[in-house]
Amino acid sequence: METILILLFVCDPMAKIFSDTPPPKNPPGAIVIRCARNEYECAQFAIRSTKPLPGATVTVGALKHESGYAIPPEKMTWSFIGTIPLKKNTPCEKKETIVRQAPCNMPDPLLADRKKDLPKNVTQPVWLTVFVPKDAPPGLYKGSVTVTSGQAKSSLPIELTVWPFTLPDERHLYVTNWVNFQRIAEAHKVKQWSDDFWPVYGKYLDNMREHRQNIAWVPRSLIKVYREENGKLTFDYALFDKYVELLHQHKVADRIEITFIGSFKDGWGGREIKLSDIWATDRKSGKGVKLDFAHGMALLLTDLQTHLEKRGWLQKAMIHIADESSQNNVLSWREKSRLVHKAAPKLKRIDAIEASNFGDDLEVWVPKLSHLRNWYPQYKQAQAKGKELWYYICCHPTGGYYPNRFLDYPLSMVRLLHWINYAYDVQGYLHWGWCAWPKGNPFGAPLEKLPPGDSNVVYPGPAGPLSSLRWDTQRDSLEDFEYLWLLTERMKNVKAKLGNVAVEFDPAEQSKAFCRRLIHDFADVESDPKMIRETRMELAQEIIAAGQDPRR
pLDDT at 552: 60
Q: Would residue 473 count as lying in a domain?
A: no
Q: Is the pLDDT of residue 551 over 70?
A: no
pLDDT confidence of residue 309: 98
Phi, psi of 102 (to 5 degrees): -75, 155
What 8-state DSSP symbol labels residue 550?
A: T
Torsion of CA 331, 336, 342, 345, to 10 degrees: -80
Residue 219, Cβ neighbours under 10 Å: how many? 16
Range of the domain at 266: 174-468
Examine the domain organization and report whether 20 and 103 are in the same domain. yes
* Any domain includes 169: no
Q: Indicate if the pLDDT at residue 409 is higher than 70.
A: yes
pLDDT value at 1 more than 60 = no
Other CB atoms closer than 10 Å to residue 189's CB: what's the count?
8
What's the CA gap between 139 and 136, in Å, rounded?
9
Considering only CA atoms, which of 314, 312, 316, 325 is closest in space to residue 362?
Answer: 325
Q: Which residues contact 450 (CB under 8 A, 6 or more apart)?
A: 395
Residue 2 falls within a domain, yes or no? no
C-alpha distance from residue 431 to each of 60, 217, 279, 448 (Å): 34, 11, 29, 19
Pair (297, 438) in one structural domain? yes
Other CB atoms within a 10 A radius of the CB of residue 78 amount to 19
Residues 341 and 308 in one domain: yes
Query: In the predicted model, what is the mean pLDDT of the chain?
Result: 96
Q: What pLDDT is recorded for position 550?
A: 61
Is the domain of 384 the same as that of 274? yes
Which of 189, 247, 192 is CA-nearest to residue 221? Answer: 192
Q: How many CB atoms lie within 10 A of CB 373?
A: 20
Report the length, in residues, of the chain: 552
* 347 — pLDDT class (breaks 50, 70, 90): very high
User: How far does CA 273 lie from the centroid of its chain?
Assistant: 30
What CA–CA distance (Å, rounded) separates 12 from 541?
21
**pLDDT (average), residues 170-179:** 98
SS3 142: strand
Alpha carbon distance 376, 389 (integer Å):
10
Contact criterion met (CB below 8 Å) for 525 and 519: yes
Model confidence pLDDT, tens digit, residues 226-281: 999 999 999 999 999 999 999 999 999 999 999 999 999 888 778 999 999 999 99
Q: Is 480 among the domain residues?
A: no
Residue 178's pLDDT is 98
Q: How many domains does the chain have?
A: 3
Q: Is the dihedral of CA 277, 279, 282, 283 positive or negative?
A: negative
> Do 249 and 150 reside in the same domain of the chain?
no
Distance CA(458)–CA(153), nearest Å, equals: 31
pLDDT band at 132 (very low <50, low <70, confident <90, very high): very high
DSSP state of 136: P
Residue 501 pLDDT more than 80?
no
CATH number at residue 221: 3.20.20
